[in-house]
Chains A and B, each alone.
Chain A
Amino acid sequence: MTSQDVNPSDKETWRIPGPLMTTALALFANGSWLNTAAENVSNHSYNGTYQTGGYFDEIPSWQLFWRGLPFSNLWTPGNGYNELEWKGRDFVSQCGYFEERTFDDIRITNHDLFETTQQFFAAFAPGFNGGKNQTLDTAQSLLEIAIFVANRAFVTWLSPDSSRNTLDILDGRHIYTSPGAAVPKPVLSKSSIIIMSVLIGLQLLGLGYLIYYLYRVPSWSDQLDAMAMARIGASLHHRGVLPAIGPVSKQDLNALQTVGGLIGIVEKSPRRDSSASESVLPDLAATDGSAVELQRLTSPEHGASRVRHSVIGVELGLDAPVPILTTSQAHRSLYVPGMKRLWRGLFASGKTTPIDD
């Protein structure tokens, strides 16, 4: 350790000893108050009569001297909480008494010093004050305070508030504080996690169902362009239910109510084989009165048109009785084989199936 650096004859090399040693040095060693007082009382030893030379002499330096007494400010006068008053405070109250006497211009003598010294030392050596029954509580408490002072001095001797720290380089390890940057953080209760999970789960289920629903049947939404819209409009116009762009009468709107918007497979009229619009069955009464139906326009062909390979007399057209691929068994028997044939024909000829129009 560092003991080899210590030269007992050179005080500059002395290091800080342990807390109890530090305390004992401050209380009892050379230069301490008690040691100085002990030397003084040794010179004026009493022999029971208190009359030896100089015993009642005034000590002019007393005022200065007593202020160096350890623990002389330990008990602040005037604290009213008597229950906690300390039994061994005699030497301190004596100091206060002496101070009052000096204010009154009464001489303080060696006798007073003797008493104070005796009281002070008695705090550490029970029985010294005459009674054998004194405990060591006082000694323990005083030493505890002294060691607290030693430890505090030990850990704070480099602190900025320590006036004795004159060497700038000795400033210890810096301790910092920082508030940090505030970042918002969600706080979720268990119930809200459950509610939100259920909702999101429902949404996912719904989306999944819709995807299933949409891909259950062939879709032609990629071909739903302006041309398709125009042709649907043309189909309506052909049937005389909706006039072209221009004024629209109430009758026209009412007539529109009677037309099914469902594009699907309709039976082809045997007498004609021209455009699809002409082959649409005029069975308007069979449609839903609300005319609000989800439309399923199912044809990879461009809109409603003749299907080349159709041999069973069906084709795509407006106002189909049922959506394609309906679950209704009654219609399935008729339309499903037709659709299958239609699909086969389309995929056999590839995507570049020519459009007849």
Chain B
Amino acid sequence: MFILADRGWTNVPLIWNSIRSRQKVQGRKSSVGFLLPAACLVLIGAIQQPLYQILVEVSQISVATCRDIPSWHHSADDCTAHPRYERIGNDVEPAQMALAQHSIIRSRMTSELTSISVDEAQSHLWSVNTTFRPMTNYYASIGVGTTSLRYWVFMRNDISLQSKLVDEPIPDFFVAGLPAETATGVLRQHIMRLNSSISCEEVDAGEFPSRCPGEQPLTVFWKRFLDTEVRICVPGDYTAFPWSLRRSRQDLTEEMYIDVKDLSISDQDTEDPTFNTSSTVRCTATTTRGYFELGNNWNNNTYGPLLEHWPKPAEMAENFNDWTDSYGDCPDVIPSDMYVRWGI
């Protein structure tokens, strides 16, 4: 008790004396048996806090609060008053696509085909390989932008160039409604993506369909086109929307035939085969439509691959922040694979 009153555990010479006296006086062993452990405990307790500071680093993580969730903006509370989220764009819904007018796309196509350049930066162009990072600096030094069509189309298709590339082969690309590498922070959202591959080959003239198949196929016939007769056939229906309304992956294969018949053969130079311009070409385009997850904190800002299947409603509600916006007083709705509701 007296030693407690003297605060002996903080008195270093005292503890030292105790240890020494303990060695000298064997009979008094138990009397220092309390002081020393107590002093050790006090020491351990004292060094723990500094050790915490030294050994435990504190990093910042971002969490989603109600101020980050746009879906909640119909309830009037403090979250509504100070939203932290920001709208960065739109993603066209399958149902909206199905109702989009033909003429809108055609007029856009006409003007954009005229103005497109291989060297302009294509912001909506995404690499299929989500971790692919071209050596931007190197290509910039030779005058090729790594977001340009020169890089993604011509350099990729040039077989002789592939071996000269300084990095890995250039992967395929896809197109999405938001600029490449768009990230959504703490929110997890999906957008639509489209990627097409096309291959053309020369075929026998007999493979050109005698009657272009489909409900409304595109047929072109130029009877006298520079000494040739040209037929073009794109089977299918150029007035109809070919996709289903689902969000899961779907593939669409289209074909195009171009047939050129040389009319001048009979007139002149039939002996020279190089002047025979007759040929038949078949081009096959395969387009895949589906959804992918945008880059966000959860996936380290690396956007996800093409989803074979749209997540189940329970998973969508629990893990993702996709909502189709409501109109009027209706609450926002989590889009499902077959969800076709739309503002009209």
Q: Which residues of A contact B (CB under 8 A)?
A: 1-3, 6, 8, 11-29, 32, 35, 38-39, 41-42, 45-46, 48, 67-76, 79-81, 83-84, 86, 114, 117-118, 121, 124-132, 136-137, 139-141, 143-160, 164, 169-189, 191-192, 195-196, 199-200, 202-203, 206-207, 209-210, 213, 224, 261-262, 288, 290, 292-297, 322-323, 326-328
Contacts and interface: CB of A to CB of B under 8 A. Distances in A.
B67 A156 contact: no
10 contacts: A13-B239, A15-B239, A72-B114, A125-B230, A128-B228, A146-B109, A151-B195, A172-B91, A176-B87, A177-B184
Contacts of A183: 60-63
A206 B105 contact: no
B27 interface: yes
A58 to B, nearest CB: 20
A81 B330 CA distance: 57
B153 A145 contact: yes
B323 A3 contact: no
Interface stretch (B128-136, B266-274, B312-320): B266-274
Contacts of B299: none
5 smallest CB-CB distances across A and B, nearest first, come from A180-B62, A180-B186, A192-B55, A172-B90, A14-B102
B232 A187 contact: no
B7 to A, nearest CB: 12
Contacts of A202: 44
Nearest to B119: A76
B309 to A, nearest CB: 19
B224 interface: yes
Interface string B76-108: 000000001111111111001111111111111
Contact of A79 (B31, B91, B119, B199): B119
A155 B201 CA distance: 29
Nearest to B197: A144
B27 A322 contact: yes
Interface in B287-344: 287, 294, 297, 321-325, 327, 335, 343-344
B105 A46 contact: no
B88 A18 contact: no
A169 B30 contact: no
A199 B200 contact: no
Contact of A176 (B85, B124, B157): B85
Interface string B179-198: 00011111101011111101
A79 B90 CA distance: 35
Interface string B10-44: 00001001100100010111111111011011001
A84 B161 CA distance: 8
Contacts of B265: none
Contacts of A150: 105, 109
Contact of B57 (A20, A139, A182, A186): A186
B241 A24 contact: no
A159 B31 contact: no
A185 B59 contact: yes
A42 B223 contact: yes
B168 interface: no
A79 B143 CA distance: 8
Interface in B134-152: 142-144, 149-150
A290 to B, nearest CB: 6
Given A176-B187, A181-B65, A3 B240 contact: yes
Contacts of A182: 60-62
B226 A118 contact: yes
Interface in B250-293: 252, 254-256, 258, 260, 264, 267-268, 273-279, 281, 283, 285, 287
Nearest to A129: B277
Contact of A153 (B21, B51, B109, B117): B109
B44 A175 contact: no
A203 B256 contact: no
A16 B97 contact: yes
A28 B109 CA distance: 12
A17 B242 contact: yes
Interface string B149-183: 11001110110010000000000010111100011
Contacts of B223: 42
B70 to A, nearest CB: 5
B112 A149 contact: yes
A37 to B, nearest CB: 9
B237 interface: yes
A21 B218 contact: yes
A175 B184 contact: yes
Contacts of B1: 224, 261, 295, 297
A125 B124 contact: no
Given A149-B113, A176-B189, A178-B86, A29 B343 contact: no
B298 to A, nearest CB: 11
A262 to B, nearest CB: 8
A292 B279 contact: no
A180 B89 contact: no
